[in-house]
Amino acid sequence: MENTTHMFSNGKESAGNNGTVICAGKIYETYLAITDILIILIGQPVIAKLLWTAFHSKKNDILKINLALFHNIQYLLTTLHVCIIYLNKELNSQIVSFITVYPLIGGPMNLSFICLERYIAVIYPTFYPLLKKYKSREGCALSMWFVVLPTATIKALSDRLNIVSNKIDFIAYTIL
């Protein structure tokens, strides 16, 4: 008797000739859970160290604190995703949509602001003190949040409603 297995990506199970059951949806969910756990275990100590250095230095760097806050929220969402991955399939797809758009836009945007600030400090040292005067760091941090949260929320909601999803994908990848 031949051992055949059928795999479906929609989470339905099918038995082969001898009763072997393999479900691609379960394998995918397990892969996502393991990936989420590894992200948390590797990333959280790094963010803790970043927060430690940011708060214990003489100069509080709002961009470093913003980067750490951004990643802590990402790890919180990842933890939520690990908890929900097997319980609610609809909410799972929304969280995955939010988690994929959130770091794709926010991470590079935040790091770009940090690099821009350092670039100005090195290349234009006389102009650099004006950045502190006009609160540019706070403006950069706020602008990152004003772009990331609405875009990720619209993407997650559009996946649920099956509308505008391709346009949001295009906009998200065009920004990068």
Report whether pLDDT(123) > 80: yes
Confidence label for 142 from pLDDT (cuts 50, 70 and 90):
very high
| Average pLDDT over all residues of the chain | 76
Per-residue pLDDT, averaged over 35-39, amounts to 82
Domain boundary assignment for the chain:
14-175
11: left (phi over 0), alpha (psi -120 to 50) or beta: left
Strand partners, 22: 14
The model's confidence at residue 119, banded by pLDDT at 50, 70 and 90, is: very high
d(CA 158, CA 128): 42
Which of 70, 78, 93 is CA-nearest to residue 157?
93
**Which residues touch 8 (CB under 8 Å, ≥6 apart)?**
14, 23, 24, 25
Rounded to an integer, the average pLDDT of 118-133 is 86
Distance CA 117, CA 123 (A): 10
The C-alpha angle 116, 117, 123, rounded to 5 degrees, equals: 85
More confidently predicted of 60 and 172: 60
Structure tokens at 159: 């996946």
pLDDT tens, position by position, 68-117: 888 888 888 888 877 777 777 667 777 778 888 888 888 899 889 989 98
Three-state DSSP at 127 gives coil
Q: What is the DSSP letter of 18?
A: T
Q: Is the pLDDT of residue 148 over 60?
A: yes
Residue pLDDT, tens place only, 16-27: 444 444 556 677
The answer on pLDDT for 51 being more than 80 is yes
Distance (Å) of CA 118 to CA 64, 115, 145: 12, 5, 21
